[in-house]
Structure 1
Amino acid sequence: MEAVIRKVQQGDASNLAYIQTESWKAAFTSILDAETLTKCTNIERATSMYQRLLDEKKGNGYLLAVDGKPHCIAYWDAARDSELVGKAELICIHSLPNNWHKGYGSMMMNRVLKDIKEAGYSEVVLWVFRQNLRARAFYEANGFALTDFSKPAFDTEEVLYSKKI
C-alpha cells in the first residue's frame, strides 16, 4: 500500500470532515454521551468548519491518502491557550478506523513534528480526553509526556501532553 501525505488544499473540506467524524464515532462512543457525539459528528457542521479553515488559510493541515484514498488528517498551529504561548499545538490527528494500527498515524505524526520543528518551535503540546487510552498510548509511543494540566471538555476532561522537539 502506498501512503502519500500532502498539505490540505481547497476542495478537501468534505474529506477532512468525513475522516474526523468517522474517527470520532469510532473512538469516542464510550467517552462522550450520545447526544454530544451526535452533535460533534454532524458532517455538515464539520465540513463548514474545515471549509472556513481552508478559506482563512488557518492552521497547518495535512491529508494522508492510502492508495489514493483519504485516510488520515492532522492540523497544528501556534498553541491556542494563553499559558502555552510560544509552543506549537497539535490540534488534531484523526484516521479512519479501518486502517488503525498499520503505521499511518505514526507517518503523519513524523511529518507534522518535522514541520513544527522547521517552523522554529522547540515544543509541541496536545489535548486529549483523559479516557482516550488508545490515543494516549499512541502519543506516549511518539515521545509525548503527560503534564499536570487538565481542563473540562464537554462532560469529561482533557489532559495536556507535551514533547520537546
Structure 2
Amino acid sequence: MIRPATVTDARALAELEVRAWRWAYVDIVAEPEMITVEEREAHWSSDGALDGAFVAEVEGRVVGVVKLGPDADDPSVGRLCGLDVEPAAQGAGVGATLYEHAVTTLRDAGFSEAVVWLFADNGHARGFYERRGWSADGASGTTAEAPELRYRQTLAP
C-alpha cells in the first residue's frame, strides 16, 4: 500500500534511509559523510519535510519512501527528491511501484518534465532510471562529498 507519509513515520523513515544508504552507497559515500538515524529523524520531523513524501507499507511496516515536488532551481519542473527501498525488499517491485506513483503524481500536478539527482557511481540507480527513459542532462554536483549527475525526463501522459 502506498500512502502519504506522516510524522509518526519519522523514525521508521530515518531507519529505512540509513539502511538503504549503507547498502547502496557503501562504496560511494565515505563513512564520515553517511547519514545518521538521528539526523534523518530530525529532518522528517521538521516542518514541511513530509510534503510530497509517500511511503510503501507492507503488513504495517514502512519498506520504501519517495519524496517529490517542484525543483528548487526551476519550480516549473518536477523533482524526485529521493527514492529509498528497504534493502531486503530490493527487486520485489517496491521501488518500481513508488516510482510509478511519483511520476503519476507529478504529472497530475501539471509537471511536463522532471529531474532526479543520482550519485555518478550508482550504476544500480542510473540503470533503474535509464530503463525508464531518463537520461543525464549535463548538470553535475556533489552531495556527501560524492559526485552527482542530474537526470531528466519528459513526463508524457
Task: Give the alignment's TM-score, normalised by structure 2.
Answer: 0.93
- How do 1:67-82 and structure 2 match up within 5 A? 67-81=59-73
C-alpha displacement of 1:161: 0.4
SS at match of 1:98: helix
Q: Which runs of 5+ in 2 are unaligned?
A: none
Cα distance in structure 2, aligned partners of 1:143 and 1:59: 26
The CA deviation string for residues 13-37 of structure 1, in whole angstroms up to 9 with x for no partner, is 1111111111001111100112112
SS of the residue 1:124 aligns to: strand
- Residue 57 (structure 1) shift: 6.1
Secondary structure (helix, strand or coil) at the match of 1:12 reads helix
Give me the CA root mean square deviation.
1.3
Distance (Å, rounded) in 2 between the aligned partners of 1:43 and 1:14: 8
Please point out which of 96, 114, 117 is paired with 1:127. Answer: 117
The answer to whether structure 1 residue 150 and structure 2 residue 147 are counterparts is: no
Q: Secondary structure at the match of 2:121?
A: coil
Q: Distance in 1 between matches of 2:59 and 2:151?
A: 32
Asked if structure 2 preserves the Cα contact closer than 8 Å seen for 1:7 and 1:61, the reply is: yes
**Alpha-carbon separation, structure 1, partners of 2:4 and 2:107:** 16
- Contact persistence 2:5–2:50 (CA under 8 A): no
CA contact (8 A) 2:114 2:152 kept: yes
Question: Does residue 16 of structure 2 align to residue 24 of structure 1?
Answer: no
Pairs aligned (count):
155
Contact 1:106 1:142 in 2 (8 A): no
Matches within 5 A, 1:39-78: 40=35, 42-52=36-46, 55-56=47-48, 59-78=51-70
Q: Distance in 2 between matches of 1:152 and 1:56?
A: 24
2:153 corresponds in structure 1 to: 163
Unaligned runs of 5+ in 1: none
